[in-house]
Structure 1
């Protein structure tokens, strides 16, 4: 596989014992889909599909009105959310995929409350009925911040990749959002340098994550 921003990735011919390896545009590694464009859209879409399938398998419990909604939300958080959030620590989430994740969060609640789309209830009304608030994106950001702080303090390869610079010209057009961009916005921090410096101080970083978890919007 060749990772590239180009719509048509460069061709790369690799031979082993005169046998040419097939160049792939995506493959699954440790349960995560890796694509040649370097984006996480396919992986996030697959995670959403897996989570919805698992929800349907537990539908008898999750939609049972004889069980309190609080208990059912705990079951959802325990058994379904880990499937959805597997590997999310490394996601770069575009605005489009963020909307899909938030829609998935509401998909769960609407089915748990047995609210049909024909009832035309707003998301705000559903959240009130479920005695809940949007928390999925905030959970992802918290996991990302905790994980990134841990690997950055080790000052190994991950630190070099995150802080290193690539020389050359930037591509034309709008630049892709990086995971650090999303974290900075959530944390309300300044430059990447300030954010990375804060990661080196465990207590300061924990306080920043706690404050963002309490007040951040995702």
Structure 2
């Protein structure tokens, strides 16, 4: 597995780029053997249980239940942050609906294919 990490690192260095070990993470999917220790140069790549990539939660089992829970939490937070708006009586319900669609529903559905 270490050789799979060395090849892109060597190719990147040919173009003046380098891998930053502090920004690299190791996520093992369905790995039953002992956890390997991968290195970039002399630094060990950190092993994580899940990580966020382009706003979506990636889990080792490949299931989306963790991602759905995270999306619901983020949408609930967005809704709660607009609490002051929902309580105002001078704002028409149609405007509140448009704000909901733009600020809450978009957070909930981010990354979903339609």
Give TM-score scaled by structure 2 length: 0.62
- Aligned twin of 2:28: 2
Question: For residues 59 and 112 of structure 2, what CA distance do their matches in structure 1 show?
Answer: 16
Question: For residues 58 and 19 of structure 1, what CA distance do their matches in structure 2 show?
Answer: 44
Where in structure 1 do 4 or more consecutive aligned residues deviate above 6 Å? none
Question: For residues 101 and 87 of structure 2, what CA distance do their matches in structure 1 show?
Answer: 14
- Aligned twin of 2:47: 23
- Aligned twin of 1:64: 88
How far is the alpha carbon of 1:12 from its aligned partner?
Answer: 3.4
SS state at 2:103 partner: helix
Question: For residues 16 and 24 of structure 1, what CA distance do their matches in structure 2 show?
Answer: 16
Q: Could you give the per-residue CA deviations for residues 21-63 of structure 1, whole angstroms, max 9, x where no partner exists? A: 2322111112221111111122211111111111111112224
How far is the alpha carbon of 1:82 from its aligned partner?
Answer: 0.9
Give TM-score scaled by structure 1 length: 0.35
- Aligned twin of 1:35: 59
SS state at 1:83 partner: helix
Question: For residues 18 and 58 of structure 1, what CA distance do their matches in structure 2 show?
Answer: 48
Structure with the higher fraction of residues in helix conformation = 1
Question: For residues 72 and 64 of structure 2, what CA distance do their matches in structure 1 show?
Answer: 12
Question: For residues 95 and 49 of structure 2, what CA distance do their matches in structure 1 show?
Answer: 42
What 5-or-longer segments of structure 2 have no aligned partner?
1-26
SS state at 2:57 partner: strand
Greater RCO (CA < 8 Å, at least 6 residues apart):
2
Two-structure CA RMSD over aligned residues (Å): 2.0
Aligned pair count?
Answer: 86
SS state at 1:88 partner: coil
Structure with the higher fraction of residues in strand conformation = 2
What 5-or-longer segments of structure 1 have no aligned partner?
90-142, 144-218
- Aligned twin of 1:80: 104
